[in-house]
């Protein structure tokens, strides 16, 4: 029994066949690893016919940092700080996922204050992440100014989060058993001020881009991903919801205090780039609504349930817990053996699973369509590669 294992260079240099001299020749183009539209170091090998894409081969590994191997040498609290660097735009949600897995494995209960703050701060970061996505979408589609508006408003949330968590991007704030710090006294008034500030700005976003006929034409009926394909390709989060499946872990398997708040799930009808675009815009509004409901109702209590230097012993058994980040469901798999370091730690990253639908949706389109598709998938490449 033997398997033939090909290499990328064999695919890119196929054996020459005796084509007729008049036939058009397909050629390969490397998009990436350093390309402005691939959001980092994703490499897409494109088989092109003129400007039309015939095949997309994603090549990963340009930022594969072996986080899973490293996690086999670290204990729970240390793994949390690594997850900041995976999906750095949802760093808090990543922290929460690992913390939740460790807490579930150890059977630690957290008090309502911790859960409320976690929910609140993750929703803030969801808004922040979508703001960045909106800006970068504009950049990818050539509307540079939207990029600056998105980042300008993102800075407001960054300021709020920085004041509480002590860092701007890689926060390491949600810890197994609680939080790193208590809320900053300025947090509540500043969040309220932000919501007041941001709602009109969101309308302005829609005037600037959503209404724009060029953007609509660039996104409408581009990269259509059917519901069946979306499920088959393991898509989650906004990408899955855009295909018409109202699946949101915050509703399906409520964690934190999501079962106590009311919000709607935006769902697409066609599954094209436009649906993915609109869903993220609407999610920002829904997240603002969640924050508004929670901001006045933060219960009192401790912010840490464990001793800070307590040993995090994982019992023997496997634990898989999911969290809805801004990009989909992040799953954390921990295999404990009774030690404090896990035998195996695996992350089901939403971006890794969302990425692969591009091999289907981009075929037959133009390069510009591919840019729009990659942009609306909202990929964070370090999370794909881990």
Partner 1 sequence: MQIWSPLYRPSIWSFRTSIGNREVGMDMWQVTTLAARIQESLLNQDFVRAGIFLGGGLAATVAAVSLLGLVLVYAERKVAAHFQCRLGPMRVGWHGVLQPIADGIKLFLKEDIIPTEADRLLFVLAPFFCILGMFLAILVLPVSPEIQIIDLDMGVIFLAAVSGFGVFGVLLGGWSSNNKWSMLGAMRAAAQIVSYEVSLTLALLVVVMFSGSLKMSEIIQSQAAGWWIWRAHGVGLVAFLVYVIASVAELNRAPFDLSEGESELTGGFHTEYSGLRFGLFFLAEFINMVLASAFAATFFLGGWMPFHLGDWQAFNAVMDRIPPLLWFVGKTSFMVFLFMWFRWTFPRLRVDQLMALEWKFLLPVSLVNLLVGAAVVLSGFYFFS
Partner 2 sequence: MTGQSSYVLTSMDRIMNWARANSLWPLAFGTSCCAIEMMMSSMASRHDLSRFGAEVVRPTPRQADLLILAGTIVKRMAKPLRVLYEQMPEPRYVIATGACTISGGPFTYNSYTTVRGADEIIPVDVFVPGCPPRPEALIYGIMTLQKMIKTGEAYGQPYQRRRPITAALPPGMTQAQLQKEIAEFLEAHATIDVDKAAHNNRWEKERY
Partner 3 sequence: MFNRQGIKQQQVKVGGKQLTIIQAPRPQRTSQVATVWGALCSLWNGMRVTWRYFSRPSSIVTQQYPENREHLKIPERFRAQLRLKYDENGEHNCTGCKICDVQCPNASIEVIDMRGESGKKEIDRFVWRMDICTFCNICVMVCPFDALEMSNEFESSVYDKRLLTYQLNRYAGPTKKAFEKIESSADRERLKVGRQPFEAPTPLGIAAGVASGPGVSVAPPSTMKKDDI
* Site residues (vs partner 1, CB under 8 A): 27, 29, 35-37, 51, 138-145, 148-149, 152, 208-209, 212, 214-215, 217-218, 366-369, 371
Q: Given the complex with partner 1, which of 144 and 316 has the nearer CB atom? A: 144
- 46 sits near partner 2 (criterion: CB under 8 A): no
Which residue of 80, 84, 233, 268 would you call a contact of partner 2, by CB under 8 A? 84
Under 8 Å between Cβ of 77 and 106: no
- 155 sits near partner 2 (criterion: CB under 8 A): yes
Under 8 Å between Cβ of 66 and 53: no
Minimum Å distance from CB 211 to partner 1?
12
Minimum Å distance from CB 241 to partner 3?
9
Return the one option of partner 2, partner 3, partner 1, none that residue 142 interacts with (CB less than 5 to 8 A, by type).
partner 1
**Angle between helix 112-141 and 187-205 (nearest 10):** 30
Minimum Å distance from CB 215 to partner 1?
5
What character string, x for contact with partner 3 (CB under 8 A) and - otherwise, covers 205-244?
Answer: -xxxxxxxxx-x---x---------------------x--
Which residue of 103, 140, 282, 305 would you call a contact of partner 3, by CB under 8 A? 282
What does 83-104 look like in DSSP terms, one character per residue?
A: HTTTSGGGHHHHHHHHHHHHHH
Return the one option of partner 3, partner 2, partner 1, none that residue 88 interacts with (CB less than 5 to 8 A, by type).
partner 2
CA dist., res. 278 & res. 199, Å (int): 16
Burial 63-77 (b: 16+ CB within 10 A, else e): beeebbeebeebbbb
Return the one option of partner 3, partner 2, partner 1, none that residue 308 interacts with (CB less than 5 to 8 A, by type).
partner 3
In the chain, what's the furthest Cα-to-Cα distance?
Answer: 78
- 36 sits near partner 2 (criterion: CB under 8 A): yes
Determine whether 23 is exposed, middle or buried from the number of CB atoms within 10 Å of its CB (0-12, 13-18, 19+).
Answer: exposed
Return the one option of partner 3, partner 2, partner 1, none that residue 41 interacts with (CB less than 5 to 8 A, by type).
partner 2
Return the one option of partner 2, partner 1, partner 3, none that residue 274 interacts with (CB less than 5 to 8 A, by type).
partner 3
Task: For residue 83, give the nearest of 254, 312, 304, 333 by alpha carbon.
Answer: 333
Report CA torsion sign: 84, 89, 92, 95. negative
CA dist., res. 369 & res. 237, Å (int): 21
Tell me the window of 117-125, 164-172, 252-260, 327-335 that interacts with partner 2 (CB under 8 A): 164-172
- 279 sits near partner 3 (criterion: CB under 8 A): yes
Peptide bond into 33 cis (omega under 30): yes
Minimum Å distance from CB 63 to partner 3?
17
3-state secondary structure of 1: coil
User: What residues contact 145, with CB distance under 8 A and at least 6 apart?
Assistant: 138, 208
Minimum Å distance from CB 364 to partner 1?
12
CA dist., res. 384 & res. 281, Å (int): 23
Give 34's strand partners.
none
Within 10 angstroms of residue 363's Cβ, the number of other Cβ atoms is 16
User: What residues contact 7, with CB distance under 8 A and at least 6 apart?
Assistant: none
User: By the criterion CB under 8 A, which residues form the site for partner 3?
Assistant: 74, 77-78, 81-82, 84, 145, 152, 155, 159, 162-168, 170, 172, 175, 180-181, 184, 203-204, 206-214, 216, 220, 242, 245-248, 251-252, 262-270, 274-275, 278-279, 282, 308-309
Residues that bind partner 2 (CB under 8 A): 33-36, 40-41, 61-67, 69-70, 72-73, 81-82, 84-85, 88-89, 132, 147-148, 151-152, 154-155, 158, 168-170, 381-382
């Amino acid at each position: 029994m033997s398997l033939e294992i090909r290499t990328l260079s064999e695919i890119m240099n196929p054996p020459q066949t005796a084509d007729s001299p008049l036939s058009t020749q397909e050629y390969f183009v490397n998009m990436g690893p350093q390309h402005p539209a691939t959001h980092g170091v994703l490499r897409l090998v494109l088989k092109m016919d003129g400007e039309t894409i015939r095949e997309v081969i994603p090549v990963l590994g340009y930022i594969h940092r072996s986080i899973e191997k490293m996690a086999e040498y670290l204990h729970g609290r240390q793994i949390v700080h690594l997850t900041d660097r995976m999906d750095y735009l949802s760093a808090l949600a990543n922290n929460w996922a690992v913390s939740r897995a460790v807490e579930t494995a150890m059977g630690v209960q957290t008090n309502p204050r911790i859960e409320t703050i976690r929910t609140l701060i993750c929703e803030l970061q969801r808004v922040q992440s979508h703001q960045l996505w909106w800006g970068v979408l504009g950049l990818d589609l050539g509307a540079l100014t939207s990029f600056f508006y998105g980042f300008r408003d993102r800075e407001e949330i960054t300021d709020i989060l920085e004041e509480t968590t002590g860092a701007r991007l890689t926060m390491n704030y949600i810890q197994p058993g609680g939080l790193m710090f208590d809320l900053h006294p300025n947090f509540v008034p500043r969040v309220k001020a932000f919501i007041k500030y941001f709602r009109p700005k969101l309308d302005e976003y829609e005037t600037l881009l959503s209404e724009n006929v060029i953007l609509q034409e660039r996104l409408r009926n581009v990269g259509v991903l059917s519901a069946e394909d979306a499920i088959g390709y393991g898509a989650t989060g906004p990408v899955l919801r855009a295909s018409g499946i109202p699946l949101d872990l915050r509703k399906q398997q409520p964690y934190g205090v999501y079962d106590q708040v009311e919000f709607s799930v935006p769902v697409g009808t066609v599954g094209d780039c436009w649906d993915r675009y609109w869903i993220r815009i609407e999610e920002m509004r829904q997240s603002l609504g969640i924050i508004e409901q929670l901001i006045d109702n933060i219960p009192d209590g401790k912010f840490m349930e464990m001793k800070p230097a307590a040993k995090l012993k994982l019992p023997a058994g496997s634990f898989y817990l999911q969290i809805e980040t801004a990009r989909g469901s992040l799953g954390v798999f921990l295999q404990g053996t009774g030690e404090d370091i896990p035998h195996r730690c695996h992350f089901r990253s939403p971006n890794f699973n969302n990425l692969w639908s591009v091999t289907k949706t981009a075929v037959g389109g133009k390069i510009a369509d591919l840019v729009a598709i990659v942009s609306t998938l909202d990929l964070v490449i370090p999370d794909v590669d881990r």
